[in-house]
Chains A and B, each alone.
Chain A
Amino acid sequence: MGMSLAFHIVFAALGIGLPVLMAISEGLYLRTRRPVFLELSKRWSHGAAILFAVGAVSGTVLAFELGLLWPGFMEKAGAIIGMPFSLEGFAFFTEAIFLGLYLAGWNRLPPFVHWLCGVVVAVSGALSGIFVVTANSWMNSPSGFKIIDGRITDIDPIAAMLNPAASHEVLHMLLAGYVATAFAVAGIHAFFVLRDRRNDFHRSALGIALALACICTPLLIISGDFSARSVAKLQPAKLAAMEANYRTQTGAPLQLGGIPDDESRTNPYALTIPRGLSLLSTHDPNARVIGLEEFPRNDWPNVRLVHWAFDLMAGSGTAMLVLSLTVCWLAWKHRGLPDGKWLLRALVAAGPLGFLAIEAGWMVTELGRQPWIIYGVMRTQEAVTPMRKIAVPFAIFTVLYVFISVVVFYLLRRQFMKSDKPVPELLATDA
């Protein structure tokens, strides 16, 4: 399941981000009538189509896997959090329908209606992300039910959807989808601009992607801070593991990196910033921060993995923030698309960072919740399928996913490579 999700989340994030780029570009075309924007939105829509199809099939796998791997969990949780999944089903349905219209409707729909279809794709992509993430945040902060004598009663699916962790997770994930897509796309086109400075196609693409990145990255970091402070309240053990903070203390230091050691409860080789943790998690440098020692040993998550994953996410986030601020500053200074050699190289290097951060962030959320599958209510052990030999389907799915990833990568690469040719020629061959 973890693996299917780690695979799916890449397509999900692109499914949230790419339609936005596509709709912006077509909007620009409608305003300026420059063919390069039209061509760009067509290319991006092809990308969206490939990714959407794979996202759809991997999402189907997930829907079944919830039951195939976690029947115990679904039996208890289905009635409580089935709602957001059903709503996602509809959001997804809308997305599929309008993407179909968008892809094949270039010549059959009036331009403005066609553009609106693109907007609907973008909106329903975001909605589908929002709905599923509420289901996940419910696992982190279960609400909307009572447990009396071990039985679940007083179910309230609406309250479950609006659980306390929903707002920070939804906001953070949505922005992460935009940022990761924007940086990945910017990286690809920066690569081609490096090769051919005057290529209008790649310059326009880079411009649109960077605009999205510059708007969303600072917001993402702010929302990350909001997430950290909610986690401090809702799941103090997760926060302690994220920060490798074993002891409860006032004026707690922030530790970057290091090798957390559960036995000695220390984190050797870490870079320490005095009072940093207290400052970040409460905005007060002298605040008291709860450490892992407050929790029974068997309620600890895997501290090393969670801490490292968190540092990876926050590190990538900081790097992207620095980069996007630099881009803003240069764009303002030169009144145009910044295209310095080193900046472009940095953008190429930063291309994968967003997705790295997404994977790492999910590791923080999911591993940080262990050993619980529903925080404080059900342990992962109790939920697992009685089916033995899970390793066989696991191996099959791994092979399948690797295979599909390779093909998708290769196809997308060609979609972008094709645009090496000058635009008019391209339009001619495409028609």
Chain B
Amino acid sequence: MLELIVAGFMFVALIFYAVTGGADFGGGMWDLLATGARADAQKNAIDKAIAPIWEADHVWLILVVVILFTGFPPAFAAMMTALNIPFTLMIIGIVLRGSAFTFRKYDIKSQEVHRRWSTLFGAASFFTPFIQGLTLGALSTGEIRVVDGKLATGFFAGWLTPFALACGLFALALFAFLAATYLTVDSSAEPDVQNDFRLRALWSGSALAPIAFVVFITSKDGAPAMYHGLTQWWAPLLVGATLCFAIAALTCLWLRRFVIARAVAIAEVTLILGGWSLSQYPNLITPDITIFNAAAPAITLRLLTYALFAGAVVLFPSLFFLFRIFKGQKS
């Protein structure tokens, strides 16, 4: 039971990371892709939306990691060993993204310098989520095997498969879509810029469907356990619901109901991640490591649960305060 609670917290933290931190990466992508007469205005809007919150958003990822290594230490050890290479690449991306964004803000000497930091920021914003999707995908492939507590497969298992690569692409498109949708709300003061982001959201949102289809097709060979999960009785309900939300999000964007579109997009992402984790429950690393056989002793899980509840009590009001000040009333 405790395992489930802790895993639940980890899942919630992952969703929060996707809908906040993921969108910040998406913002970086649109920053790199800013074009046309209003490129600078677009970049400005992105900068304003991300600057006050990205560090807080980023901490969700750290939370996922600490819950993982406190609650499920053997799973952490196995993941970090098997996926050593992609995780190393990912943290390089994280370092570059974060520092380039900060430096861009404070290094205001010349246009040239500013542009160089922007390029690095944008490139790292593409690279990092791709690797994130890829590693999550690799965990479902079933190619990473752990026998008697020892990793039996090498350092290249899983993450170079077509399925994992498709997952990487999916993460890219998903975050781009989220970011563009949020930005339509954030840029409501400038209708032209808002419309730019609306079009971007529509495009990237539509691109999600074919990529999701590729993920599904490749999972047949690439992630059989997950494919099996996705063909169970509840799967059509979940997939149907996700599809409804996806269409609703696009429709709201089309009809310029941006605030509703934002809420619907968040729900869509939550459903996608929910479906993903349900379809591989209870595996953390398919098929050998589960949340049950990797769980830390009960006392650790219990204390961790208390800590997470206590943390949530501090965290949510503070976060609410932050978002209210910056996203609520515009001064």
Contacts and interface: CB of A to CB of B under 8 A. Distances in A.
A71 B53 CA distance: 32
Contacts of A266: none
A107 interface: yes
A99 B76 contact: no
A83 interface: yes
B321 A53 contact: no
Interface stretch (B29-37, B97-105, B171-179, B253-261): B97-105
Interface string A100-132: 110111011100000000000000000000000
B329 to A, nearest CB: 9
Most chain B C-beta atoms within 10 Å of own C-beta, residue among A64, A72, A155: A64
Interface stretch (A54-62, A289-297, A305-313, A366-374): A54-62
Contact of B59 (A75, A80, A92, A387): A92
B246 to A, nearest CB: 31
B233 interface: no
Contacts of B69: 66-67, 74, 78, 82, 85
Which range contains the number of B residues in contact with the other chain? 35 or more
B102 A83 contact: no
Contacts of A76: 73
Contacts of A85: 66, 69-70
A96 B81 contact: no
A86 interface: yes
Nearest to B69: A78
A346 interface: no
B71 to A, nearest CB: 7
A100 B99 contact: no
A71 B91 contact: no
Interface residues of A, number: 66
A76 B315 CA distance: 29
A108 B331 CA distance: 8
Interface in A135-189: 155-158
A319 interface: no
Nearest to B81: A71
Contact of A385 (B84, B297, B299, B318): B84
A343 interface: no
A57 B55 CA distance: 9
A46 B325 contact: no
Given A72-B77, A83-B304, A99-B55, A60 B94 contact: yes
Interface in B62-113: 62-63, 65-67, 69-71, 73-74, 76-81, 84, 87-88, 90-92, 94-96, 98-99, 101-103, 106-107, 109
Contacts of A63: 62, 65-66
A94 interface: yes
Contact of A79 (B62, B73, B326): B73
A18 B194 CA distance: 39
Interface stretch (B38-46, B271-279, B306-314): B306-314
B77 A67 contact: yes
B106 A87 contact: no
Given A60-B58, A90-B307, A78 B63 contact: no
Interface of B is mostly: helix
A49 B296 CA distance: 36
Contacts of B144: none
Contacts of A397: 92
A78 B325 CA distance: 37
Contacts of A336: none
A96 B296 CA distance: 29
Nearest to A93: B59
A27 B78 CA distance: 49
Contact of B300 (A96, A155, A407): A155
Contacts of A158: 303
Contact of B76 (A78, A92, A414): A78
B151 A386 contact: yes
B79 A67 contact: yes
A63 to B, nearest CB: 5
Contacts of A28: none
B102 A50 contact: yes
B95 A58 contact: yes
Most chain B C-beta atoms within 10 Å of own C-beta, residue among A50, A82, A157, A385: A82
Contacts of B51: 104
Contact of B95 (A96, A385, A404, A415): A404
A331 interface: no
A108 B175 CA distance: 30
13 contacts: A50-B102, A56-B98, A57-B99, A60-B62, A65-B91, A75-B73, A93-B315, A99-B55, A101-B325, A104-B326, A105-B325, A155-B299, A407-B99
Given A76-B73, A89-B59, A100-B53, 20 more contacts: A57-B98, A60-B94, A64-B91, A65-B91, A67-B80, A68-B80, A71-B76, A71-B81, A78-B69, A82-B304, A86-B307, A93-B315, A104-B52, A104-B326, A107-B331, A158-B303, A387-B84, A397-B92, A400-B92, A411-B107
